[in-house]
Amino acid sequence: MIPVSIQARQALDKLLLPFMLLIAVGVILLGQADRNLTHAARMLVADVLSPIWSLIAEPGERVAAAVAEIRGINHLAEENASLRAENETLRGWYDVAVSLTQENQTLKNNLRWMPDPVPSFVTGRVIADAGGLYSHAVLIGAGPQSGVRVGNVALAADGFAGRVTETGQRSARILLINDLSSRIPVTLEASHGSAIMTGDNSSSPRLMYYAQDNHPIEGERVVTSGQANLLPAGLPIGVVHYARAGQPVVTPYARLDHLSILRIFDFEVASIDAPDAPGRVPLAPLHAGAGPNGALPGTSARDGDSGDGTTLSGATLGGVIGIRPHERDEKSMSKASNQTDNTDETQDSDDTAHARQGATPDAQAPDAPNADPSLSGRKKAQSPSPAYPPPFTERG
């Protein structure tokens, strides 16, 4: 040991606190400047320390198991009697379960039921509690080499515990559901409502953004909803409890403060792609493979089309034929003109017949001009020329 004077030691003691504060500020600024570097450094430290934490935690776990076994010896008789009673009850339920299983299998065969894919999982031991006052997370001794990826689901023995947020070489960090940054869409089974479960660093996450006319019910089960493809639907989380009036919280099934073993499931939710909506037929670009005068393949250009590639004649979009607005105006105006002409011809023929019956050659006026009896002094209605709107322009 290097001998140091009392004055130098006092000076070092005074400079130690400012030096540590300076290092802390530097680490914070570095983390804000390059988050990827900070995450990589943090996971590197976790990988280095994970074997040490495992060695430290193993003796404590063995001692806890031995103490629990010693305590269980004193209650062997009571546990034996309780197990016998439960066994008799379960025998009756076993027959019911076998009958329901056979019935369910028969219904699935008749309906040609497609089962859900079985997810792969790995089991890891919680080696350290990486959380603090404002961060609830744990480290497990399994990494990408074991098949653990970011976004995997962590399940405890009783229910949903959290999600994998970071991975190292031999370890992974799991963000628990009661963390302040946790937001999970959930479904309320009894009331059939939807809500968002938000962590608040307490043992019971809160329920928010539920329908005001459909409040959560005390004691109903809360499961994941599967919205936004973040988590699979139906994972059990807990039950609803009202700590105060109008403030529902979730009591988790998993004991988040006593996690020892977690199963990491890979449900591959993001790999399931939804099919296209029915009736939507993809339309090729009009400029690609267009026929003469800009017509689509398999169609001919109409008279008067400029061939600018904007005509949709003959193109089918979801079973509806695309027609330009001014073409619809042309057809409607032509149909109206034909109906007017037919009405005029009928009225003219009736007037001519009446004139022939009531008139004689001697009674004809001398000064009357030789008029055409088919017109009977009427002017046919002239259909106005439609004002065509400007043609479609192709959107980029």
8, two tokens:
């130098």
Question: If you write DSSP's letter for every residue of 380-396 in order, what string do you get?
Answer: PPPPPPP-PPPPP----
Do 100 and 32 share a structural domain?
A: no
Do 173 and 100 share a structural domain?
A: no
User: For the residues 286-293, what does the mean pLDDT come to?
Assistant: 49
Do 159 and 84 share a structural domain?
A: no
CATH number of the domain bearing residue 206: 2.40.10.350
CATH number of the domain bearing residue 123: 2.40.10.340
State pLDDT tens for residues 243-252: 888 899 999 9
Rounded CA gap, 109 and 323, in Å? 49
- Domain assignment of residue 315, given as a range: 275-299+307-325
Rounded CA gap, 395 and 177, in Å? 47
Do 171 and 66 share a structural domain?
A: yes
User: For the residues 352-364, what does the mean pLDDT come to?
Assistant: 47
Q: What angle do CA 247, 248, 249 make, to 5 degrees?
A: 120
Do 287 and 209 share a structural domain?
A: no
Do 32 and 66 share a structural domain?
A: yes
The answer to whether residue 98 scores a pLDDT higher than 50 is yes
Helices (H), the chain: 6-33, 35-73, 76-111, 325-358
Do 316 and 213 share a structural domain?
A: no
pLDDT band at 35 (very low <50, low <70, confident <90, very high): confident
Do 269 and 123 share a structural domain?
A: yes
Do 280 and 260 share a structural domain?
A: no
Q: What is the DSSP letter of 205?
A: -
Does the predicted model carry a pTM greater than 0.75? no
Do 224 and 195 share a structural domain?
A: yes
224, two tokens:
């994941």
Asked which of 69-78, 140-149, 382-391 is least confident by mean pLDDT, the reply is: 382-391
Do 48 and 122 share a structural domain?
A: yes
State pLDDT tens for residues 113-146: 888 778 889 998 888 776 655 578 898 988 888 8
What 3-state DSSP class applies to 4?
coil
CA nearest to 117, candidates 265, 248, 309, 337: 265
Q: What angle do CA 141, 144, 145 make, to 5 degrees?
A: 85
In a domain? residue 376: no
Question: If you write DSSP's letter for every residue of 138-159 in order, what string do you get?
Answer: EEES--GGGT--TT-EEE-SSS
pLDDT band at 347 (very low <50, low <70, confident <90, very high): low
User: Is the model more confident about 206 or about 5?
Assistant: 206
pLDDT band at 362 (very low <50, low <70, confident <90, very high): very low
What is the total count of domains within the chain? 4
Do 165 and 138 share a structural domain?
A: yes
